[in-house]
Every structure is written in structure tokens, then in C-alpha cells.
Amino acid sequence: MSNKKAQFSKHTLQLAQKYAQQLMQNDVIELKSDDDKDIKSEDEQLNLEEDQDEQQEQLEEQQDDENNDMNDEEDQDDQDDQDDQDNQEDQDDQDNQDNQEDLDDEQNEEDEQEIVEEKEEPKKQKKIKKQQQQEVEEQQEEQMESFQQEEDLNDQLFETDLNAVMNRINKIIEALKQKDYGKYSREELLNELRKHLCTYYGYNQDLMSHFSSMFKPAELVAFLDANDAPRPITIRVNTLRTRRKELAQTLVQRGVNLDSVGDWTKVGLVIYESKVPIGATPEYLSGHYMLQSASSFLPVLALAPQMNERILDMAAAPGGKTTYIAQLMKNSGVIFANDTSKDREKALFYNLQRMGVTNCIVTNYDGRKFPKVMKNFDRVLLDAPCTGLGIISKDPSIKAQKQMRDILKHSHLQKELLLSAIDCCKKGGIIVYSTCSVSVHENEVVLQYALNNRHVKIIDTGLQVGNPGLLKFEDKKFHSSMNLAKRIYPHVHNMDGFFYAKLKKINHGPIKEEIKKDVQEPQVMTKKMKKKQKQLEKLRLGEARKQSQQQQQQQ
Amino acid sequence: MRQLNEEETKIFFEKLGEYIGANIKLLIENEEDPHVFRLIKNKVYYMSLQIANWATNVGKDELLHVGTYFGKFTKTKKFRLNITCLEILAKYAKHKVWLKPSGEQSYLYGNHVIKAHLAKMSENIPQYANVILFSLQENPLGFGVASRSTLQCKDLDPTAVVVFNQADLGEYLRSEDDKNNEK
């Protein structure tokens, strides 16, 4: 048996050695191709890190031994050697020699290297050895970077191998963290990172550049990862029909594993696991709960509706937030649930009926025209239509479809809707603006527009959930109260990406009304006026002719 | 939106009376918080007067739903109750039938109630009377027509139909499906 074992181990050793050699050769070839392409840049590298160069040269020498055909490069290598010698003179000779000796082994295993070092120099340089190890690690990283920096070669690899893309993404991020950019500039690395993130996560370039301007590289990857992972299913208990304890008990009896969402809500339950379809239990059908993402609770909690108030939900379908408002008001007062789309109206209607909401009026106006229908609401909730960049985990098609153009389009609509919502509200009333998007254009920019055009101020939401809103983004700067708005990120809060802000209306009417009228009205009038003027001119001309004819006749 | 005219009121109340009898009075005569029935297109809604007044501000084409939906008039001028009014029917129900937990599922899928699923039923239900169905936890599940009187039910074999299904809560899901199919 022992013989067999020995044979077996010998065999494995041989295999391992072969494999190691292959690996070596591969590395060598890759490095070599480096040199083929970046002959000029080697000088730069030399300036950056001497050790790196030495390493490469050594490898080149190996190559020359192995590949005698490559005669052209020998000249270069000779040059490099000279440079090296110059550099070596500057440093401690021993260090460099050790490095050079060890370099070949490093690529396979550090352990071996340590052993070798220990044997060769047991006494003298323990401190130096540590330094060497650090240097070696750095060198390895730099090596990897030098791999990364050959774009053409690696791109061919990457298109077929997602793992390789991921490795490279991680390396670039580390490099960016340590501010160790190698021979490339930060921007170039960032561009490359974006490109690879696009291929790995399947986003279009537009969205990725937008996200990368919002997040730091490491956070960006966390965000993208979170977008690929499903969010936990959450339900909201309908207190019009039941209580959370009762519902939890009955659901547990049905084989549902659940827990409360958090301390900030008394009506939320997280579903971890369920034997029955959670959207078709008798309790669901009786309207005891509603499937709703936890982040959708927040704007309603911020709105804080009171009994007997008149409330407008400007974009209500499919009614998750509307039913929550009714529940908080205990079916008193009046809720106007408006939605532009007639297709979504049915879902809204059935949800309202199922949840036993009786104080609701469902209307089908364009939200922008609602101020003409009715004004002076106590509170207005605007959960604006958006690109849904916060709910990519629910709808992955957003990744490929939505572009900057869509974001700006929505942003424009949202501005109009928010102004309209503010106009609907009474003086001193509350407006809550929310979107399920994380983009700045659909949130802070819209709020800033409202601040510029209406007498409103942003007030505290009264909730602790969420990161503060941004005060500046790219070239834009926002009002100092913008940090009272809240942002929910999937990778931070494990909820759908969300934004909500609470506004208080101070006074009626737009700001700078007179100036706007001066600008707008003449533009509108000129078209009509032109026609009238033309008609008038014609008439005048006709009269003039008649008069002249009459005069001629008289004469 | 308008009030129901005499003919419509008569048809509607006759139908409603089959389920809740004289309790209709309680629906209308509530002095503290007066409630009314209103017609939007051919659909009947039940709402508090305050909300009805607010709804008058909304244009005819834009007003879709108000308050609780009871049902609609068919083109032959009959009235059809919808499941959405179940809560109110259950509150004032004349005749009740309770289902066993094992029978809930089958009923909510739109099936008739068979004897085996019957837990209990109120006394003196005549044949072909309209009944409201409950789970044993007193959650209303739907309404239907009793195929036999209470006394006759005792002697039925387990697979015989006791209550014909007119509407059940499962319609919330099925009607949404219909909508998707239409698309």
C-alpha cells in the first residue's frame, strides 16, 4: 500500500509540476505580449516602479531562452538590462538579487519563496524580508494591472468569460481604492470599469454612466449586485379588517414563515418562506393584507394623513398607497385617487374594494390638469411615474431599455406633476413627493424645480429610514434643505430603491409670476395676432383701394 | 352620477332584499352619517352623502368609481350583485352558511358547496333562498343560493350540492385574470 501511495504521490507531483510549468509559460506569454505592444510605455513603467520592470525583464529573458525565434526583442531587452543595472546600483544589491531570484517562484506560490529565502539568508535580514514580501505583493498586483491594461487582448477573452470580467472589475476597484493607477489615468480606468460592468451586469452604457456618476466604484458594484438579487416579499396588514397579530397567527398556521419588517412600521410583515401562494390565500382575498414593498409604506407615513381630511393621491394605481392612506384615516374624510391610465384603473378599483375602502373617489384625469378640477386639498401624495431605476430587481428589462433620454423625459413630466400637486394643495398643506427611482434627475432636480417655482419648503419627513438627499450632483447644486429628503438604496436598506420628500406649501401662486407672463404670453399671442393683423391689413388695403377707386370715379 | 330612479330602485331593492331582507332600511336610514346609493353609468355604488357631494365636482367622463360597488344593471334591466358588496351583505345577512376549512379552497375556486364541506347553517332557510357563506372564523367568503331547505339538507348524501355559487372572493383574482386575457 505504501508503495502505491508513494507512486501516486509521485504521479500527482509530476502532474502538478507540469501544470505549474504550463502556468508559467502562459504568464510569460501574456507578459511578453505586453512588451510587444507597449514598448514605448516601458520607460514610463520604469519611472513608476523599478521592481516591476526588473520582474518583466527577467521574464523576458526567460522568454528569450524559451523562444529563440523572437530575435527582434533581444535588442530591447539589452537596453532594459542596462537600465536595470543603473537602477540596481541605486538600491541595496542584496535586496534586488533576492527579488530576482525569487520572482520566478512567486508566481506559483509564495510559500515556496519564503522557504527559499529562509534557506538562503537565515540570519541577516528578517526585517528586509518582510519588506520584500510587501513589495512582492505589490508587484503581483501591478502585474495584474499590466494585464488589465492591454485592452484589446483582454476584451477578446472577456466577451466569453464572465468570471474573468468579474475578476478584472474587482482588480480595477482595488486599484482605484488604493489610488494606484499604474500607467493609466483614473478616468481611463473608470471608463474601462464601466464598460466591463455593462457586459457583466447587462446594462446599457447610458444607465451605467449615470449610476457611476452617483456611486463610488465599490458602492456601484454593491448596488448592481443588489439589483440582481430579489428583495424579500413584504405584506401590509389591513387594519380596517384585522390586526397584525391575528393575521400573523393565521398565516403561520397556513405554513408561512414571517417576521415584522422593522421598528418603524406596525403594519409590515416580511415573508421568508411560504407553502401556499401568498397572493391567493383566503386572507388575501378577504382583504386582510396587501402585497406591497416595504419602501412604499414610507411616503404614506411621511404624508401622515389625519382623520376627516381631504386627500389627493395623484398617481394612485394600483392602489397600494391609497389603501394605506384610507387605513390610516379609518375610512373617514375623502380620498381622491386619480390615475391617468385607464388600463391600471381596474387593478386600483379591485384593490380598493377588496381592502374595504369606502371613502375613495376614483378619477381619471391627467394629473397636470387636476388643479382645474379641484383645489385646497389638505394633503397631496404624488408617487410620480418614473423610470423605475430602484426596482430593477423586479423588472430586469429596465437595465437594457431605459436610457438617459427616458430619465429626462420622466423628469420633465414629474416637474409638471409636482407643480400641479402643489397647486392642488391648500396653504399650509402637506405634499409628499416620491418615486421608485434612484436617479437624481427624477428626484432632487424635480424638487429643486418646485422650490424655484412655487412657495414651498422641504420639511423633515419624521422618519429615520433612508439616506439624506444629495446636495450636489455633477454640475448641479441643490438647496440646503434637500438633505431632509430621503433616499432608499437596495444595497443599503434591502428595500426597493426609493426616494421621498415632504413639502409644506407656504403660499399660493407661482414665484416670479409677472416675469413669466411677459415671456410666455406674447409668444402665444403673436401667432393669433399675426393672423388678425394680416386680416386687418387686407381689410385696410381693400378699403384703401375702394377709396382710391371712388376718388378716381369722382374725379 | 345620479340617483336611482323609481324603477331602478325597485329592481335593485328587490334583489338586495333577497339577501338582507328588511335590513335595507339600516343601510339608508343612518342619521349620524347618512349614506346613499348612486348610479354611475349602469353601476350602483353605495357611499356616504358627504363623499357623494364631493364626487359631484368630478366630470362625468372622468368619474370612475365612488365608495362601495354593489353591482350593475344588465341590458335587460335586471340587477346583478357583485362580490365587492359582500362586507355589507355579510353584516346584515338573513341566512348564513358556514364552511369547513377544508371546503373553503374549493368554494373560493368558484365551485358549488357540497354537503361534505358544510359546517353549519342557520335555521329555517327555505329552498332556493339566497345565503351568505362564511368561514368558521366568521370571515365572509361569498354568496349563493341554497339548493335545499335546512331540513332537507340533513338527509343529503355528502357529494350533493347544498349551495349554488353566485359569487365568491376568488373573483378578485379571476376578474383580474380576465382583464389580462382581454389584452
Tell whether B121 lies on the interface with A, counting CB pairs under 8 A: no
Q: Is residue A474 part of a domain?
A: yes
CA distance B27 to A235: 32
Q: Are residues A355 and A489 in the same domain?
A: yes
Is the Cβ–Cβ distance between A268 and A304 less than 8 Å? no
Residue B11 pLDDT: 94
pTM score, whole prediction: 0.72
Residue A86 has pLDDT above 60, yes or no: no
End-to-end C-alpha distance for chain A, whole angstroms: 142
Report residue A119's pLDDT band, with 50, 70 and 90 as the boundaries: low
For residues A464 and A551, membership in a common domain is answered with: no
CATH for B6-88 is 3.10.450.220
From the CA of B97, how many Å to the nearest CA of chain A? Answer: 17
Mean pLDDT score, A416-442? 94
Per-residue pLDDT of B51-72, as tens digits, reads 999 999 999 999 999 999 999 9
CATH number of B94-173: 2.30.130.10
pLDDT of residue A163: 83
Q: Which of A250, A283, A346 to mutate to test the interface with B (most CBs of B within 10 A)?
A: A346
- Per residue in B100-109, pLDDT (tens digit) is 999 998 999 9
Q: Does A310 touch chain B (CB under 8 A)?
A: yes
Q: Is A135 helix (H, G, I), strand (E, B) or coil?
A: helix
Q: Identical fold at B6-88 and B94-173? A: no
Cα(A474)–Cα(A407) distance, rounded to whole angstroms?
A: 16
Per residue in A299-326, pLDDT (tens digit) is: 999 999 999 999 999 999 889 999 999 9
Q: Which chain A residue lies closest to B176 (C-alpha atoms)? A: A347
Q: What is the span of the domain harbouring residue A544?
A: 523-555
Residue A91 pLDDT > 60: no
What would the pLDDT profile of A145-202 be if each residue is shown by its tens digit? 555 554 444 554 545 678 888 888 888 888 888 887 777 888 888 888 888 888 889 8
A380 shares its domain with A461: yes
| A160: in domain | no
Residue A252 lies in a domain: yes
Tell me the residue type at B147.
S
Q: Is residue A199 part of a domain?
A: no
- Count of CB atoms within 10 A of residue B41's CB? 10
Q: Which of B65, B68, B173 sits opposite A280 (nearest CB)?
A: B173
CA–CA separation, B117 and B97 (whole Å): 11
Please tell me what DSSP assigns to residue B160. S
Point out which residues pair with B48 in neighbouring strands. B35
B179 contacts A346? CB cut-off 8 A? yes
User: Would you say residue A430 has pLDDT above 70?
Assistant: yes
Sign (positive/negative) of CA torsion A491, A494, A499, A505? negative
Categorize the per-residue pLDDT at A364 as very low, low, confident or very high, splitting at 50, 70 and 90: very high
Same domain, A396 and A433: yes
- Nearest-by-CA chain B residue for A349: B65
Q: Are residues A272 and A340 in the same domain?
A: no
Length reported for chain B? 183
Q: What is the mean predicted confidence (pLDDT) over B23-30?
A: 89
Output the average pLDDT for chain B: 90
Phi/psi of residue B143, each to 5°? -140, 165
Average the pLDDT over A39-55 and give the result: 48
Helix (H) or strand (E) run with residue A473 in it? strand A472-473
Helix (H/G/I), strand (E/B), else coil: A72: helix
Q: Is A350 exposed, middle or buried (0-12, 13-18, 19+ CB in 10 A)?
A: buried
- In this structure, the answer to whether residues A531 and A501 fall within a common structural domain is no
Q: Can you give the pLDDT at residue A31?
A: 43
Reported as a single tens digit per residue, the pLDDT across B113-123 is 999 999 999 98
pLDDT in tens, A382-391: 999 999 999 9
- Residue A519's pLDDT is 46
Residues A240 and A348 in one domain: no
Backbone angles phi, psi at A122, to 5 degrees: -75, -30
The amino acid sitting at A200 is: Y
Lowest average pLDDT, out of A49-58, A393-402, A472-481, A524-533, goes to: A49-58
Number of domains in chain A: 4
Provide the grid cell at A524: 402665444
* Residue A360 falls in the annotated catalytic set: no
- The per-residue pLDDT for A551 is 80
Contact of B159 with chain A, judged by CB distance below 8 Å, is answered with no
Spell out the domain ranges in chain B.
6-88, 94-173
Residue A400 belongs to a domain with what CATH number?
Answer: 3.40.50.150
**Where a domain ends, among A272, A291, A310?**
A291
Residues A362 and A499 in one domain: yes
